[in-house]
Amino acid sequence: MNVPAHAVVTGGAGFLGSWLCERLLAGGASVACVDSLVTGSLDNVAHLRGLPGFRFVEADVSAGIPVDGPVDAVFHLASPASPLHYQRLPLETLRAGSHGTGHALDLAARHGARFVLASSSEVYGDPEQHPQRETYRGRVDPTGPRSMYDESKRFAEALTVAHRDVHGTRTGIARIFNTYGPRMAVDDGRLVPTLMVQALTGEPLTIAGDGSQTRSLCWVGDLVDGLVRLAASDESGPVNLGSDDERSVREVADVILRVTGSSSPVRHVPRAEQDPLVRRPDLARARTRLSWTPTTPLRTGLARTAAWYADRLAGAAATPMGA
């Protein structure tokens, strides 16, 4: 599959952004990785620095995107993505979705480049339609505990559509569902890293509520392939990207216990306010318009992820105090 010759990835030192940078470089692209490092980490791109075609630009996209040279595609991923982070950084999250999206769109428009917005399944809120189709307008509380993220993505989508209509910018919107894999921070706070670290360290696995709420977890490599396919197409979207293999949180915990060989017990804790009860994308649009579908089984992906976390935790344990 063709990749753009010159790509800009905002949020490129984050979990998903670093995988996208790697994928684009492997396809022969030059990549400008832009990140403020507020939630991203240079560790995520340490293996890319020094490679031909890769450059890191430390910048807050809300203030501007200082990238020069040719640009063929702009992937806008910059935003805190974990509830732990976006609730700690509400204003920064809203600015990334508003000012940051505007700067990324302007950069694409100046170069006649393709623009891809990393939106989120969170635009559907706690959905009344299941599975969620792109035509569903969602059920979101604009003043609730998740509003800073939900509304930043909803506004970013609206701004993307307006920019396309007014300036003719070539845009595509991806609504990304739960994604997992290596490079999610140990203290990320989301489902997979939390349960994985607990299992590997022998701590109780904390299950919110009774664990019957569902998630559809997509291996990060599959998700990145969807983003690249969207960029290579003329599809404007929105397009759901994620897995439609829906599992209860308790099922996910059970798989993690099996792949880690852990005997950790399960401890139930209160569900977070407005935590969605169900999540599963309708993937018909992605399949027909992008010829994309995820292929990595959950157990396979979680086993790969467990190996990465085990190495990460072992490295942290081996680091001397104060080093």
Which residues form the catalytic set? 149
**Structure tokens that stand for 18 in this block:** 């670093």
- Give the type of residue at 220: V
Q: How many residues does the chain have?
A: 323
Cα torsion angle, 244, 247, 253, 258, sign: negative
Tokens 């630009």 -> residue: 57
DSSP labels for 78-101? Answer: -S--SHHHHHHSHHHHHHIIIIIH
Cβ contact 162:124 at 8 Å: no
- Residue 214: beta bridge partners? 248
Give the whole-angstrom CA distance, residue 245 versus residue 254.
15
Residue whose C-alpha is closest to residue 198's, from 269, 268, 271, 262? 262
Q: State how far the Cα of 243 lies from the Cα of 251, in Å rounded to an integer.
A: 15
